[in-house]
Structure 1
């Protein structure tokens, strides 16, 4: 039986389940509880709960998106989902409003402790005591006050095998569904896999399964080793496939389990290879290795360390430096990045810099603008299609953008404009790490770093029903918002960098002080993109002998935008004086000819007259 069987089959036969319940009732009696007594409904204060949440912040951060996804599967079933720490303290809950109101009457909510000592036999407390997944149905609860409930809980173990918390689904006993435990089990495994990935991002990770299509899905085994080949952790599927529980596995090595060395597998990072387990079973494996870390056997290299593309974005603005520092901490970790900011603020520029600084720098960077693709084409563009999938399809089919990003980075720009019908398909890809082209008979495993961007406020999109809440939490791992150009303090440095790049076709060009003053006054609705276009146009207007951009070189529409802007406050009067001086100088140069001065400045005659009246 492969790992999916292990995920879906019940943990115990009914007889064993009854034994677990019986022992739980015996423990409840020893705690001095009486079936008819009123349960302990005490709640932690807001500050105490906040402190406990902070202690479990890693568990909470990785469990929250999984809980949101799980709730989407059980919504409108008169039930709720709860996450607890190792003591049974409920850290967070969500569910149907009607049932949440009933649950609060028995203190089934954040801040309450559901240990056996306080609540008697219940799924959360009994799972903690037995370290087993358990369903407690109706009158199996020790306290009669809880007989209206049916609860299914699974333990969540940290990467070292210690109890980290409990994931629970509780509902009205009359609406009990047998498949609920299977969903809770799979959700618990998702959380554990996320905890492993975040804890050992700098090790060598082997993702393996006897069937290659299961790599990248919940069914894959994950084993993590240090640079010397010592096993650090393994998920439940890996333990099942290897036939060894974690305590014993941690005494094993890469060689004893897979017959390979760390150096040999590190050389195959990013590729799918064949390995043989210690029990003789052949598996397909995908090896991930943090290229920023030195391998087990140091190698001398004369190659200098590659420059940081992210640091190149730090040109003196404090907000940008903070963004770069935050982003740098998650590079190489399985944490999606969501970039916000106005149109033209540099979202794709930041995404490309992240990719170039990441361990996936040698893989593809695939950018998709979800707003620019017609709704009729975006599905085939993202997911691809098989031969003959629809009328007009290419004879050989087409590889979608998601599959093209395999081994690299997928950048979904303006994700807030993605149609709702496709958001559910994207969510499945992100959950299962497989993509199924249109008309294809089988799915293809994919592995990529995800970066999304939007100039919309996705929280507002979620509230308006235009963006799936579960997808929002899936793409919103680390969220950063780029400042608009008008708020940045490094305008001169940005201009110098653009002029040194392609905007002036390799010419050495500076910018006059009065032009810089005009730039500082402008609101820049198009942000960096608009600034680049203005500089490129101004450079094209330069004569061969010109070495400095002056007012007369600026595009006419840009100057008219300045004229149409609100009157500057008194503190900005100096900028207005500079514009008047430029007009006066042009008139002097052209002997008072207004038309000639206007042509030289690139503005209308009306603008010249307006400045003269200022």
Structure 2
């Protein structure tokens, strides 16, 4: 979700509480006071400011962990926008219990005297008229300023609160900014309402990331901002969720919306929407409401899941799996590799956003290779059976992509998918990253602490990539979490229950590491409920199917294929970087090809071309008949000396035979690299690189 910087700019000047003159506001305060009087609350009494039992706060936080995770970054942002005031930001549950607070140190001490702290309950029945409690009753944004508080002890405060709803209209909690009454700003309520909508939109994107999502507004330039309406649609065309902006624009309640379908409301079918947005350059659609109002609309959907609902030919797939109204949803390619050029992320789904691709499940990985079919068949049998999965394979074979596909096809698909690369996080930080930490757990930590990756994945899937690189000391703690199903953040004495499905992956030989005492055997057996090995690209039979899929992802409907010469190079190459390397090579070639329909040698990078030509030479030499004797000896040096070594005379791998051929050619050329390169049919740079990489280490 994009927010214009100006939209959240903090006001620079103070203003009188003009909102207090609004008749609707006055009526809200009056009705709240009447409710408080009916409850027998006294205005002059000192309210109970003692927080509730710690165990109740812990239970409330556990029940609302997902709300906390979505709200925390928004609260930090909101606090930054109110730096000019002495204030704090609070998050409460639907009962009015404060779950979390962030604020200015100079205000926190005085706020503690009226229990503006986690554990306190600010329901109207407990604290009288106040922004949090009254917003819960009214289910609407509420400002309570100074003496408008029912209890005089709270009269020094000015509070602006907005309720938070899920996409089905259920009340989740309240977001509030409270501060000294003299710090009142006219725009604070606007900031709070916008922040609440950010949380709601994150929740909606998380709940319905696999649904068809319609983003719309009467002004097209507002699509992609907090002003846009968002409606989620299922495969049958039923409207299953919406944000508040959508409900306002459609003039419907949440319950009324769920009684309607896409054809009933907009006279559109799912197939028509899919067909319109099958092209990445499709313009917005125009929606016509029953009252004649026109809205501009864009659609976001998971292409492989939804494309069959369209009425057009489905032979070609668009550029990427998620189609977003003419532009791919921005994000990074999957680091695991398979069809990486076509995998994108919205960046708006909480734990999975920031970088998680929207995938179509295991079906998308089926491209005709028998080994992959066997892997997918095994994995499908254990999904949702509480069996840990360990994925083995070389770097770049698509281990993370498989993990995401497993999550997509599981019953946890609507919950977070959280990936942790154990090799990329510094050893000093990985413990805090995994388990989280409390306020003050260590120097330099974020104020108020942070939840760890394991808690972020609660209810969903935790992917531990490169598990073989996890420090040995940390392995014991991870094992305890997996066994006890609870996690204790750093600096905390409390254990939090956690429910995650675990998929781990590594390119290392874990059994050898166990023998070397660098990997725990008990953790190994905890992780390997099912072990599957992803084949290297050179071992697969579906290379050209993968090539075509990557190119379709890059160029959409435009025809782009490698010519016969490049096809031979691709098929002969040994692909040490596997599918990730293939994706990078083809992505570059597609850009170099421009508007042409064929990829030629001229479109390939020099480095890859040199290595691929060498591989092609080796393949040709293996296929050639043995050289005859008695030929003109003068011509012999001109023959590629790569044919010289024979497996019968020199055992070893293909790489070793290749190196032997290069060294022999250099020797026969008297050390002249240029002559050797001509005889071998490879570049001088390739010879230098091969000899340098394989030079014996100095003593």
How does the TM-score come out when normalised to structure 1?
Answer: 0.55
Aligned residue runs from structure 1 range 172-571, under 5 A: 172-269=180-277, 271=282, 272-293=284-305, 334-335=348-349, 354=357, 482-483=465-466, 490-491=507-508, 497=536, 500=539, 545=646, 548-549=652-653
Shift of 1:89: 0.7
Structure 1 distance, partners of 2:424, 2:81, is 29
Per the alignment, in what secondary structure is the counterpart of residue 491 of structure 1? Answer: coil
Structure 1 distance, partners of 2:112, 2:171, is 26
Choose the corresponding residue for 2:175, options 167, 172, 181: 167
Shift of 1:64: 1.9
Question: Which residue number in structure 1 is paired with residue 375 of structure 2?
Answer: none
Consecutive unaligned residues of structure 1, counting only runs of 5 or more, are: 310-319, 325-329, 341-349, 362-449, 512-531, 556-597, 608-614
Distance 1:505 1:89, change over 3 A: same
TM-superposition CA deviations, 1:391-417 (whole Å, max 9, x none): xxxxxxxxxxxxxxxxxxxxxxxxxxx
Structure 2 distance, partners of 1:226, 1:165, is 27
Structure 1 distance, partners of 2:159, 2:95, is 17
Choose the corresponding residue for 2:164, options 156, 174, 196: 156
User: How many matched pairs?
Assistant: 417
Consecutive unaligned residues of structure 2, counting only runs of 5 or more, are: 10-16, 322-333, 339-343, 365-417, 434-441, 471-504, 510-531, 544-568, 577-607, 619-641, 660-690
Q: Tell me if structure 2 keeps the 8 A contact 1:335–1:477.
A: no
TM-superposition CA deviations, 1:430-463 (whole Å, max 9, x none): xxxxxxxxxxxxxxxxxxxx999995779999x9
Shift of 1:27: 1.6
Q: Tell me if structure 1 keeps the 8 A contact 2:146–2:157.
A: yes
Per the alignment, in what secondary structure is the counterpart of residue 267 of structure 1? Answer: helix
Question: Which residue number in structure 2 is paired with residue 18 of structure 1?
Answer: 26
Question: Which residue number in structure 2 is paired with residue 137 of structure 1?
Answer: 145
Question: Which residue number in structure 1 is paired with residue 633 of structure 2?
Answer: none
User: Does the alignment pair 1:82 with 2:90?
Assistant: yes
Deviating more after overlay: 270-279 vs 67-76? 270-279
TM-superposition CA deviations, 1:28-54 (whole Å, max 9, x none): 222222222221223234333222122
Deviating more after overlay: 13-22 vs 74-83? 13-22
Question: Which residue number in structure 2 is paired with residue 373 of structure 1?
Answer: none
Per the alignment, in what secondary structure is the counterpart of residue 43 of structure 2? Answer: coil
Shift of 1:229: 2.1
TM-superposition CA deviations, 1:558-581 (whole Å, max 9, x none): xxxxxxxxxxxxxxxxxxxxxxxx
Shift of 1:332: 7.9
Q: Tell me if structure 2 keeps the 8 A contact 1:274–1:283.
A: yes
Aligned residue runs from structure 1 range 14-53, under 5 A: 14-53=22-61
Per the alignment, in what secondary structure is the counterpart of residue 92 of structure 2? Answer: strand
Distance 1:285 1:105, change over 3 A: same
Shift of 1:84: 0.8
Structure 2 distance, partners of 1:481, 1:333, is 20
TM-superposition CA deviations, 1:297-337 (whole Å, max 9, x none): 699999999xxx9xxxxxxxxxx9x9x9xxxxx98894266
Distance 1:37 1:336, change over 3 A: closer
Q: Tell me if structure 1 keeps the 8 A contact 2:87–2:178.
A: yes
Question: Which residue number in structure 2 is paired with residue 70 of structure 1?
Answer: 78
Per the alignment, in what secondary structure is the counterpart of residue 35 of structure 1? Answer: coil
Structure 2 distance, partners of 1:179, 1:600, is 64
Distance 1:75 1:29, change over 3 A: same
